[in-house]
Copies of this chain bind each other. A is one copy, B any other.
Amino acid sequence: MNAEIIAVGSELLLGQIVNTNAKFISKCLAEIGVNVYHQTVVGDNNQRLKNSIEIAEKRADLIIFTGGLGPTKDDLTKETIAAHLGVKLVTDQEAMESIEAYFIKTKRVMTENNRKQALVLEGAKVFPNENGMAPGMFYISENHSYMLLPGPPHEMEPMFLQYGREAILETMDEPQKIESRVLRFFGIGEAHLETEIENLLLKQTNPTIAPLASEGEVTLRITAKHQSSIEALRLIEQVEKEILSQVGSYFYGYDDTSLMQELIKLLSSKKMTIACAESLTSGMFQAQMGNFAGVSSILKGGVVCYTNESKMKLVNVKRETLNQFGAVSKECAKELAENIMAQMDTDIGISFTGVAGPDPLEGNPAGTVWIGIARKNEDTKTYPLELASSRNGNRVRSVKFGCYYLIKALS
Protein backbone atom coordinates (compact mmCIF):
# COMPACT_ATOMS: atom_id res chain seq x y z
CA MET A 1 0.00 0.00 0.00
CA ASN A 2 1.24 3.49 -0.71
CA ALA A 3 0.01 6.80 0.59
CA GLU A 4 0.11 10.51 -0.18
CA ILE A 5 -0.28 13.19 2.44
CA ILE A 6 -2.03 16.41 1.42
CA ALA A 7 -1.78 19.25 3.92
CA VAL A 8 -4.30 21.99 3.21
CA GLY A 9 -3.63 25.51 4.45
CA SER A 10 -2.51 28.85 3.10
CA GLU A 11 -0.52 29.49 6.27
CA LEU A 12 1.81 26.67 5.15
CA LEU A 13 2.27 28.19 1.70
CA LEU A 14 2.98 31.60 3.20
CA GLY A 15 5.70 30.01 5.32
CA GLN A 16 4.01 30.96 8.59
CA ILE A 17 4.10 27.44 9.98
CA VAL A 18 6.10 24.34 9.24
CA ASN A 19 4.40 21.16 8.09
CA THR A 20 5.03 18.94 11.11
CA ASN A 21 1.86 16.97 10.31
CA ALA A 22 3.45 15.44 7.19
CA LYS A 23 6.47 14.36 9.21
CA PHE A 24 4.37 12.87 12.00
CA ILE A 25 2.05 10.92 9.71
CA SER A 26 4.90 9.76 7.46
CA LYS A 27 6.76 8.41 10.44
CA CYS A 28 3.72 6.55 11.74
CA LEU A 29 3.02 5.10 8.29
CA ALA A 30 6.63 3.95 7.91
CA GLU A 31 6.25 2.10 11.18
CA ILE A 32 3.29 0.07 9.89
CA GLY A 33 4.90 -0.60 6.53
CA VAL A 34 2.93 1.90 4.39
CA ASN A 35 5.09 3.66 1.77
CA VAL A 36 4.75 7.41 1.42
CA TYR A 37 5.92 8.52 -2.04
CA HIS A 38 4.60 12.08 -2.01
CA GLN A 39 3.72 14.84 0.42
CA THR A 40 1.83 17.81 -0.98
CA VAL A 41 0.81 21.18 0.43
CA VAL A 42 -1.98 23.14 -1.21
CA GLY A 43 -3.87 26.27 -0.14
CA ASP A 44 -7.48 26.70 0.97
CA ASN A 45 -8.60 26.87 -2.64
CA ASN A 46 -11.31 24.69 -4.10
CA GLN A 47 -9.96 24.23 -7.63
CA ARG A 48 -6.33 23.68 -6.66
CA LEU A 49 -7.31 21.21 -3.95
CA LYS A 50 -9.47 19.30 -6.44
CA ASN A 51 -6.55 19.10 -8.88
CA SER A 52 -4.25 17.87 -6.13
CA ILE A 53 -6.75 15.12 -5.26
CA GLU A 54 -6.87 13.99 -8.89
CA ILE A 55 -3.08 13.86 -9.09
CA ALA A 56 -2.86 11.93 -5.82
CA GLU A 57 -5.45 9.39 -6.98
CA LYS A 58 -3.19 8.50 -9.91
CA ARG A 59 -0.25 7.64 -7.68
CA ALA A 60 -1.52 6.60 -4.24
CA ASP A 61 -3.99 4.12 -2.72
CA LEU A 62 -4.49 6.05 0.50
CA ILE A 63 -4.78 9.84 0.62
CA ILE A 64 -4.50 11.53 4.00
CA PHE A 65 -5.62 15.14 4.31
CA THR A 66 -4.81 17.43 7.22
CA GLY A 67 -6.33 20.86 7.80
CA GLY A 68 -9.28 22.83 6.51
CA LEU A 69 -11.92 21.18 8.74
CA GLY A 70 -12.57 24.23 10.93
CA PRO A 71 -15.65 26.42 11.24
CA THR A 72 -14.65 29.32 9.03
CA LYS A 73 -15.28 30.17 5.40
CA ASP A 74 -11.78 29.36 4.23
CA ASP A 75 -12.05 25.80 5.57
CA LEU A 76 -13.20 23.76 2.58
CA THR A 77 -11.40 20.43 2.62
CA LYS A 78 -14.40 18.17 3.24
CA GLU A 79 -16.66 20.21 0.97
CA THR A 80 -14.18 19.82 -1.90
CA ILE A 81 -13.71 16.10 -1.30
CA ALA A 82 -17.45 15.53 -1.00
CA ALA A 83 -18.09 17.28 -4.31
CA HIS A 84 -15.23 15.44 -5.98
CA LEU A 85 -16.48 12.02 -4.81
CA GLY A 86 -20.15 12.84 -5.31
CA VAL A 87 -20.86 12.08 -1.66
CA LYS A 88 -23.24 14.05 0.56
CA LEU A 89 -22.21 15.84 3.74
CA VAL A 90 -24.44 14.88 6.65
CA THR A 91 -24.54 15.99 10.27
CA ASP A 92 -22.88 13.56 12.65
CA GLN A 93 -25.01 13.55 15.76
CA GLU A 94 -22.22 12.59 18.13
CA ALA A 95 -19.93 15.30 16.80
CA MET A 96 -22.73 17.88 17.06
CA GLU A 97 -23.43 16.91 20.65
CA SER A 98 -19.78 17.13 21.53
CA ILE A 99 -19.52 20.61 19.96
CA GLU A 100 -22.64 21.80 21.78
CA ALA A 101 -21.38 20.35 25.04
CA TYR A 102 -18.13 22.21 24.57
CA PHE A 103 -19.93 25.53 24.31
CA ILE A 104 -22.22 24.81 27.23
CA LYS A 105 -19.30 23.82 29.39
CA THR A 106 -17.23 26.88 28.52
CA LYS A 107 -20.35 29.12 28.67
CA ARG A 108 -19.44 30.63 25.36
CA VAL A 109 -21.98 31.50 22.69
CA MET A 110 -22.04 28.97 19.87
CA THR A 111 -22.08 30.82 16.58
CA GLU A 112 -23.83 29.28 13.59
CA ASN A 113 -20.60 28.50 11.71
CA ASN A 114 -19.60 26.03 14.42
CA ARG A 115 -22.36 23.65 13.27
CA LYS A 116 -20.43 23.20 10.04
CA GLN A 117 -17.81 21.29 11.99
CA ALA A 118 -20.24 18.42 12.66
CA LEU A 119 -20.75 17.75 8.94
CA VAL A 120 -19.13 14.52 7.74
CA LEU A 121 -18.93 12.54 4.49
CA GLU A 122 -21.92 10.21 4.32
CA GLY A 123 -20.74 6.64 4.86
CA ALA A 124 -17.42 7.62 6.44
CA LYS A 125 -16.10 6.21 9.67
CA VAL A 126 -16.02 9.20 12.04
CA PHE A 127 -13.14 9.80 14.47
CA PRO A 128 -14.03 11.77 17.62
CA ASN A 129 -11.86 14.79 18.35
CA GLU A 130 -10.84 14.69 21.97
CA ASN A 131 -8.84 17.89 21.84
CA GLY A 132 -10.94 20.14 19.67
CA MET A 133 -14.19 20.27 17.77
CA ALA A 134 -13.73 19.06 14.17
CA PRO A 135 -14.10 15.25 13.90
CA GLY A 136 -11.87 13.17 11.60
CA MET A 137 -13.15 10.84 8.85
CA PHE A 138 -12.15 7.73 6.94
CA TYR A 139 -13.93 7.09 3.67
CA ILE A 140 -13.32 4.04 1.47
CA SER A 141 -14.28 4.16 -2.22
CA GLU A 142 -13.72 1.45 -4.84
CA ASN A 143 -10.09 2.25 -5.59
CA HIS A 144 -8.94 4.57 -2.87
CA SER A 145 -9.32 5.42 0.74
CA TYR A 146 -9.43 8.98 2.06
CA MET A 147 -8.62 10.07 5.58
CA LEU A 148 -9.49 13.57 6.76
CA LEU A 149 -7.76 14.88 9.88
CA PRO A 150 -7.81 18.29 11.60
CA GLY A 151 -4.84 20.63 11.10
CA PRO A 152 -3.75 21.61 14.65
CA PRO A 153 -1.09 19.04 15.65
CA HIS A 154 -2.42 18.72 19.22
CA GLU A 155 -5.75 17.54 17.75
CA MET A 156 -4.42 15.57 14.79
CA GLU A 157 -1.68 13.55 16.48
CA PRO A 158 -3.74 11.89 19.23
CA MET A 159 -6.60 11.30 16.78
CA PHE A 160 -4.30 9.58 14.30
CA LEU A 161 -2.67 7.44 16.96
CA GLN A 162 -5.95 6.40 18.53
CA TYR A 163 -8.20 5.96 15.47
CA GLY A 164 -6.44 6.67 12.17
CA ARG A 165 -3.65 4.13 12.36
CA GLU A 166 -6.01 1.33 13.36
CA ALA A 167 -8.40 2.16 10.52
CA ILE A 168 -5.53 1.86 8.02
CA LEU A 169 -4.27 -1.40 9.53
CA GLU A 170 -7.74 -2.91 9.07
CA THR A 171 -7.51 -2.33 5.31
CA MET A 172 -4.13 -4.12 4.96
CA ASP A 173 -3.66 -7.79 3.96
CA GLU A 174 -0.36 -8.93 5.44
CA PRO A 175 1.07 -6.06 7.26
CA GLN A 176 4.71 -6.23 8.32
CA LYS A 177 4.77 -5.58 11.97
CA ILE A 178 7.06 -2.82 13.01
CA GLU A 179 7.98 -2.52 16.63
CA SER A 180 10.08 0.15 18.17
CA ARG A 181 11.32 1.18 21.56
CA VAL A 182 13.03 4.33 22.73
CA LEU A 183 15.80 4.18 25.34
CA ARG A 184 16.37 7.44 27.19
CA PHE A 185 19.75 8.59 28.54
CA PHE A 186 20.79 11.53 30.66
CA GLY A 187 24.20 12.85 31.68
CA ILE A 188 25.98 11.83 28.46
CA GLY A 189 26.36 13.76 25.18
CA GLU A 190 25.19 12.42 21.84
CA ALA A 191 28.66 12.17 20.29
CA HIS A 192 30.00 10.44 23.40
CA LEU A 193 27.14 7.95 23.45
CA GLU A 194 27.61 7.20 19.75
CA THR A 195 31.31 6.57 20.24
CA GLU A 196 30.58 4.21 23.13
CA ILE A 197 28.23 2.05 21.03
CA GLU A 198 29.94 2.53 17.65
CA ASN A 199 30.35 -1.24 17.27
CA LEU A 200 26.56 -1.65 17.40
CA LEU A 201 25.78 1.35 15.18
CA LEU A 202 28.11 0.05 12.44
CA LYS A 203 26.57 -3.41 12.19
CA GLN A 204 22.89 -2.34 12.49
CA THR A 205 20.42 -3.54 9.82
CA ASN A 206 17.37 -5.01 11.52
CA PRO A 207 16.81 -3.66 14.13
CA THR A 208 18.00 -0.15 13.30
CA ILE A 209 19.33 2.14 16.03
CA ALA A 210 18.67 5.88 15.64
CA PRO A 211 20.21 8.37 18.09
CA LEU A 212 18.54 11.74 18.73
CA ALA A 213 19.59 14.53 21.08
CA SER A 214 17.48 17.28 22.62
CA GLU A 215 17.63 19.55 25.68
CA GLY A 216 20.45 17.71 27.40
CA GLU A 217 19.00 14.24 26.81
CA VAL A 218 19.90 11.58 24.24
CA THR A 219 17.55 8.88 23.03
CA LEU A 220 18.13 5.75 20.99
CA ARG A 221 15.18 4.48 18.97
CA ILE A 222 15.44 0.76 18.22
CA THR A 223 13.16 -0.32 15.37
CA ALA A 224 12.64 -3.89 14.16
CA LYS A 225 10.50 -5.30 11.34
CA HIS A 226 9.08 -8.80 11.26
CA GLN A 227 5.85 -10.51 10.24
CA SER A 228 5.47 -11.46 13.87
CA SER A 229 5.32 -8.80 16.53
CA ILE A 230 6.75 -11.16 19.09
CA GLU A 231 9.76 -11.86 16.90
CA ALA A 232 10.28 -8.13 16.26
CA LEU A 233 10.22 -7.48 20.01
CA ARG A 234 12.69 -10.30 20.59
CA LEU A 235 15.09 -8.65 18.13
CA ILE A 236 14.72 -5.34 19.96
CA GLU A 237 15.40 -6.89 23.34
CA GLN A 238 18.59 -8.47 22.10
CA VAL A 239 19.98 -5.16 20.88
CA GLU A 240 18.76 -3.34 23.98
CA LYS A 241 20.71 -5.75 26.16
CA GLU A 242 23.90 -5.08 24.22
CA ILE A 243 23.40 -1.31 24.40
CA LEU A 244 22.72 -1.30 28.13
CA SER A 245 25.77 -3.47 28.82
CA GLN A 246 27.84 -0.63 27.34
CA VAL A 247 26.08 2.59 28.44
CA GLY A 248 23.50 1.37 30.97
CA SER A 249 24.68 3.69 33.72
CA TYR A 250 23.22 6.70 31.85
CA PHE A 251 19.90 4.97 31.03
CA TYR A 252 16.82 6.18 32.86
CA GLY A 253 13.66 5.07 31.10
CA TYR A 254 11.68 3.96 28.06
CA ASP A 255 9.66 5.68 25.33
CA ASP A 256 7.70 8.79 26.31
CA THR A 257 8.71 8.93 29.92
CA SER A 258 10.64 11.85 31.37
CA LEU A 259 13.00 12.30 34.26
CA MET A 260 10.19 13.97 36.22
CA GLN A 261 7.83 11.08 35.53
CA GLU A 262 10.42 8.54 36.68
CA LEU A 263 11.04 10.60 39.80
CA ILE A 264 7.34 10.75 40.63
CA LYS A 265 7.00 6.99 40.09
CA LEU A 266 9.87 6.43 42.49
CA LEU A 267 8.61 8.84 45.18
CA SER A 268 5.15 7.39 44.88
CA SER A 269 6.34 3.78 45.25
CA LYS A 270 8.36 4.77 48.32
CA LYS A 271 5.48 6.88 49.69
CA MET A 272 7.84 9.80 50.15
CA THR A 273 6.91 13.48 50.29
CA ILE A 274 8.88 16.43 48.95
CA ALA A 275 9.08 20.21 49.32
CA CYS A 276 11.03 22.59 47.10
CA ALA A 277 12.80 25.93 47.28
CA GLU A 278 13.48 27.34 43.84
CA SER A 279 15.56 30.36 43.02
CA LEU A 280 16.82 30.40 39.40
CA THR A 281 14.20 27.86 38.29
CA SER A 282 11.51 30.08 39.90
CA GLY A 283 8.83 27.39 40.13
CA MET A 284 9.67 25.28 37.10
CA PHE A 285 10.44 22.11 39.07
CA GLN A 286 7.15 22.31 40.95
CA ALA A 287 5.20 23.35 37.84
CA GLN A 288 6.45 20.22 36.07
CA MET A 289 5.54 18.05 39.04
CA GLY A 290 2.07 19.60 38.95
CA ASN A 291 1.54 18.21 35.43
CA PHE A 292 0.94 14.80 36.96
CA ALA A 293 -2.50 14.05 38.37
CA GLY A 294 -2.55 12.97 42.01
CA VAL A 295 0.77 14.60 42.80
CA SER A 296 -0.65 16.27 45.91
CA SER A 297 0.22 13.18 47.95
CA ILE A 298 3.89 13.77 47.05
CA LEU A 299 4.43 17.50 46.56
CA LYS A 300 3.57 19.19 49.83
CA GLY A 301 4.44 22.62 48.53
CA GLY A 302 7.31 25.04 48.38
CA VAL A 303 8.54 28.48 47.64
CA VAL A 304 9.84 30.54 44.77
CA CYS A 305 12.66 32.54 46.30
CA TYR A 306 14.00 34.47 43.38
CA THR A 307 15.38 37.33 45.49
CA ASN A 308 17.67 37.27 48.52
CA GLU A 309 14.88 38.88 50.53
CA SER A 310 12.51 36.02 49.73
CA LYS A 311 15.18 33.45 50.63
CA MET A 312 15.27 34.98 54.10
CA LYS A 313 11.56 35.73 54.48
CA LEU A 314 10.10 32.56 53.01
CA VAL A 315 12.74 29.92 53.82
CA ASN A 316 14.62 31.48 56.73
CA VAL A 317 18.01 31.44 55.03
CA LYS A 318 20.42 33.22 57.37
CA ARG A 319 21.56 36.68 56.35
CA GLU A 320 25.14 35.66 57.22
CA THR A 321 25.02 32.80 54.75
CA LEU A 322 24.05 35.17 51.95
CA ASN A 323 26.62 37.75 53.04
CA GLN A 324 29.45 35.30 53.50
CA PHE A 325 28.90 32.82 50.64
CA GLY A 326 26.37 34.50 48.36
CA ALA A 327 23.07 33.14 47.04
CA VAL A 328 24.84 31.04 44.42
CA SER A 329 26.65 28.74 46.80
CA LYS A 330 26.79 25.26 48.25
CA GLU A 331 25.90 26.71 51.65
CA CYS A 332 22.80 28.52 50.41
CA ALA A 333 21.61 25.42 48.50
CA LYS A 334 22.06 23.35 51.66
CA GLU A 335 20.09 25.73 53.89
CA LEU A 336 17.31 26.12 51.34
CA ALA A 337 16.84 22.35 51.02
CA GLU A 338 17.03 21.67 54.75
CA ASN A 339 14.78 24.57 55.76
CA ILE A 340 12.01 23.88 53.26
CA MET A 341 12.02 20.20 54.33
CA ALA A 342 11.68 21.21 57.96
CA GLN A 343 9.06 23.85 57.25
CA MET A 344 6.81 21.48 55.31
CA ASP A 345 7.74 18.41 57.38
CA THR A 346 8.52 16.25 54.34
CA ASP A 347 10.88 13.34 53.70
CA ILE A 348 12.86 15.29 51.12
CA GLY A 349 13.76 18.92 50.47
CA ILE A 350 15.23 19.99 47.15
CA SER A 351 16.64 23.39 46.23
CA PHE A 352 17.88 25.18 43.11
CA THR A 353 20.00 28.30 43.25
CA GLY A 354 22.21 29.71 40.51
CA VAL A 355 22.70 32.06 37.59
CA ALA A 356 20.25 31.54 34.73
CA GLY A 357 21.94 34.24 32.66
CA PRO A 358 22.54 35.92 30.34
CA ASP A 359 24.53 38.09 32.79
CA PRO A 360 26.85 36.81 35.53
CA LEU A 361 25.86 37.20 39.19
CA GLU A 362 28.01 37.65 42.30
CA GLY A 363 31.05 36.90 40.15
CA ASN A 364 29.61 33.58 38.96
CA PRO A 365 29.20 33.07 35.19
CA ALA A 366 25.77 32.27 33.73
CA GLY A 367 25.10 28.54 34.07
CA THR A 368 26.62 28.20 37.55
CA VAL A 369 24.05 26.28 39.60
CA TRP A 370 23.89 24.55 42.98
CA ILE A 371 21.31 21.86 43.70
CA GLY A 372 20.68 20.79 47.29
CA ILE A 373 19.01 17.54 48.34
CA ALA A 374 18.08 17.15 52.00
CA ARG A 375 16.68 13.88 53.38
CA LYS A 376 15.33 13.00 56.80
CA ASN A 377 18.05 11.45 58.97
CA GLU A 378 20.68 11.68 56.26
CA ASP A 379 23.40 14.14 55.35
CA THR A 380 22.35 16.83 52.92
CA LYS A 381 24.01 16.54 49.52
CA THR A 382 24.84 19.39 47.18
CA TYR A 383 25.65 19.22 43.47
CA PRO A 384 27.37 21.92 41.41
CA LEU A 385 26.54 22.38 37.71
CA GLU A 386 28.27 24.38 35.01
CA LEU A 387 25.76 24.73 32.21
CA ALA A 388 26.32 26.44 28.88
CA SER A 389 22.86 26.89 27.44
CA SER A 390 20.54 29.90 27.05
CA ARG A 391 18.78 31.45 30.06
CA ASN A 392 15.82 29.18 29.68
CA GLY A 393 17.93 26.18 28.64
CA ASN A 394 19.94 26.53 31.85
CA ARG A 395 16.73 26.55 33.90
CA VAL A 396 15.27 23.53 32.05
CA ARG A 397 18.51 21.59 32.47
CA SER A 398 18.76 22.47 36.16
CA VAL A 399 15.33 20.91 36.69
CA LYS A 400 16.41 17.78 34.78
CA PHE A 401 19.59 17.47 36.81
CA GLY A 402 17.55 17.88 39.99
CA CYS A 403 15.35 14.95 38.97
CA TYR A 404 18.37 12.91 37.89
CA TYR A 405 20.35 13.38 41.11
CA LEU A 406 17.30 12.67 43.23
CA ILE A 407 16.54 9.47 41.29
CA LYS A 408 20.17 8.35 41.73
CA ALA A 409 20.08 9.22 45.44
CA LEU A 410 16.89 7.21 46.01
CA SER A 411 17.60 4.17 43.79
Task: Using CB atoms and an 8 Å cutoff, list the residues of chain A in contact with chain B.
Answer: 10-20, 22-30, 36-43, 45, 48, 51-52, 55, 59, 70-73, 102, 105-109, 111, 113-114, 131, 152, 189-192, 194-195, 201-202, 210-214, 221, 223, 276, 278, 280-287, 289-291, 293, 295-296, 299-307, 309-310, 313-314, 343-344, 356-359, 367, 386-388, 390-392, 395
Question: Do A304 and B307 form a contact, CB below 8 Å, given A283-B287, A290-B356?
Answer: no
- CB-nearest residue of chain B relative to A106? B388
6 A-B pairs with CB atoms under 8 Å apart are A16-B27, A22-B41, A111-B191, A111-B195, A291-B392, A310-B344
Question: Do A301 and B304 form a contact, CB below 8 Å, given A111-B195, A191-B111?
Answer: yes
Q: By the criterion CB–CB under 8 Å, are B28 and A194 in contact?
A: no
Contacts of A13 in B (CB 8 A): 26, 36-39
Contacts of A18 in B (CB 8 A): 18-20, 22-23
Contacts of A108 in B (CB 8 A): 189, 192
Q: Bound complex: CA of A43 vs CA of B284, how far in Å?
A: 37
* 3 nearest CB pairs, A to B: A283-B283, A15-B27, A301-B310
Question: Do A48 and B55 form a contact, CB below 8 Å, given A19-B22, A301-B306?
Answer: no
- CB-nearest residue of chain B relative to A39? B41
Q: By the criterion CB–CB under 8 Å, are B113 and A194 in contact?
A: yes
- CB-nearest residue of chain B relative to A221? B16
Within the complex, the shortest CB–CB distance from A47 to chain B, in Å, comes to 10
Q: Which of B71, B195, B214 contacts A152 (CB 8 A)?
A: B214
Given contacts A15-B25, A37-B45, 10 further A-B contacts (CB under 8 A): A12-B22, A13-B26, A16-B221, A18-B18, A19-B39, A37-B48, A105-B388, A106-B388, A111-B191, A301-B309
Contacts of A359 in B (CB 8 A): 293
Contacts of A287 in B (CB 8 A): 281-284, 287, 395
- CB-nearest residue of chain B relative to A201? B73
Q: Bound complex: CA of A291 vs CA of B356, how far in Å?
A: 9
Contacts of A307 in B (CB 8 A): 296, 299-301
- CB-nearest residue of chain B relative to A286? B283
Q: By the criterion CB–CB under 8 Å, are B304 and A391 in contact?
A: no
Contacts of A107 in B (CB 8 A): 386
Q: By the criterion CB–CB under 8 Å, are B48 and A42 in contact?
A: no
Q: Bound complex: CA of A358 vs CA of B345, how far in Å?
A: 28
Contacts of A290 in B (CB 8 A): 280-284, 304, 306, 356, 395
Within the complex, the shortest CB–CB distance from A104 to chain B, in Å, comes to 9
Contacts of A295 in B (CB 8 A): 282, 306
Q: By the criterion CB–CB under 8 Å, are B30 and A38 in contact?
A: no
- CB-nearest residue of chain B relative to A72? B194
Contacts of A45 in B (CB 8 A): 37
Q: By the criterion CB–CB under 8 Å, are A39 and B14 in contact?
A: no
Q: By the criterion CB–CB under 8 Å, are A304 and B303 in contact?
A: yes
Q: Bound complex: CA of A306 vs CA of B302, how far in Å?
A: 9
* Highest count of chain B CB atoms <10 Å: which of A45, A310, A367, A390: A310
Q: By the criterion CB–CB under 8 Å, are A304 and B276 in contact?
A: yes
Q: Bound complex: CA of A290 vs CA of B284, how far in Å?
A: 9
Within the complex, the shortest CB–CB distance from A389 to chain B, in Å, comes to 8
Q: By the criterion CB–CB under 8 Å, are B40 and A28 in contact?
A: no
- CB-nearest residue of chain B relative to A215? B154
Contacts of A72 in B (CB 8 A): 190-191, 194, 211
Q: Bound complex: CA of A223 vs CA of B108, how far in Å?
A: 30
Q: By the criterion CB–CB under 8 Å, are B309 and A300 in contact?
A: yes
Q: Bound complex: CA of A390 vs CA of B304, how far in Å?
A: 25
- CB-nearest residue of chain B relative to A131? B390
